[in-house]
């Protein structure tokens, strides 16, 4: 039997639609722990936005900074999605339902969605926003340790 020449490639299942609801989370002690919930019509385009982490788009910058911070601490970050047939309003409803579900599963859980507001890039410094995200993620990680 021939060996798989692609064994070292990551798997990303190709969606049937660009409309998705998604959860970003880290792997902690073999569990998936959400830190952000979103919706999009652009599927993997959102992942690219977070990798770019443009300071001109506050959500992209916040999420990108959170991911970089978690990677620097050795955490695996996962992007989990579900294809949606809903329009924008329906996907926002699904997003809010996921946020509620996560809150009920893990009381006192914090998501970036609810805790970091947007900013005006002309009036804010990137390093100040970076610090906000890092402080939030430090608190997030500390809350994981206190659940042990």
- The reply to whether 67 falls in a domain is yes
The torsion of the CA quartet 133, 136, 137, 140, rounded to 10 degrees, works out to -160
- The reply to whether 7 falls in a domain is no
Instruction: Tell whether pTM > 0.85.
Output: yes
- The reply to whether 136 falls in a domain is yes
Reported as half-sphere exposure (CB side, CA atoms, 13 A), residue 5 has a value of 0
State which residues form the domain around 34.
20-146
Interhelix angle for 58-72 vs 44-52, to 10°? Answer: 80
- Say how many domains are in the chain: 1
Task: Answer yes or no: are the C-beta atoms of 144 and 28 closer than 8 Å.
Answer: yes
Encode the chain (148 residues) as per-residue pLDDT tens digits.
568 899 899 888 888 889 999 999 999 998 999 999 999 999 889 999 999 999 999 999 999 999 999 999 999 999 999 999 999 999 999 999 999 999 888 766 789 987 888 999 999 999 999 999 999 999 999 988 765 4
- The reply to whether 89 falls in a domain is yes
Residue linked to tokens 């998705």 = 20
DSSP state of 38: E
Task: Map residue 102 onto helix, strand or coil.
Answer: helix
pLDDT for 146 equals 62
- The reply to whether 12 falls in a domain is no
Within 35-80, residue ranges assigned H as helices are 44-52, 58-72
């Amino acid at each position: 039997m021939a060996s798989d020449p692609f064994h070292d490639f990551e798997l990303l299942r190709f969606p049937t639609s660009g409309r998705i609801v998604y959860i970003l989370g880290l792997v902690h002690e073999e569990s998936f722990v959400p830190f952000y919930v979103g919706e999009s019509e652009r599927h993997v385009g959102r992942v690219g936005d977070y990798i770019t982490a443009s300071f001109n788009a506050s959500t992209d910058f916040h999420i990108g900074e959170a991911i970089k911070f978690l990677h620097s601490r050795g955490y695996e970050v996962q992007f989990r999605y579900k294809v949606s047939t809903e329009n924008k309003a329906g996907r926002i409803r699904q997003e809010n339902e996921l946020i509620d579900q996560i809150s009920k599963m893990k009381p006192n859980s914090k998501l970036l969605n609810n805790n970091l507001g947007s900013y005006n890039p002309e009036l804010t410094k990137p390093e100040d926003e970076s610090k906000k995200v890092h402080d939030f993620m430090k608190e997030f990680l500390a809350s994981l340790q206190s659940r042990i």
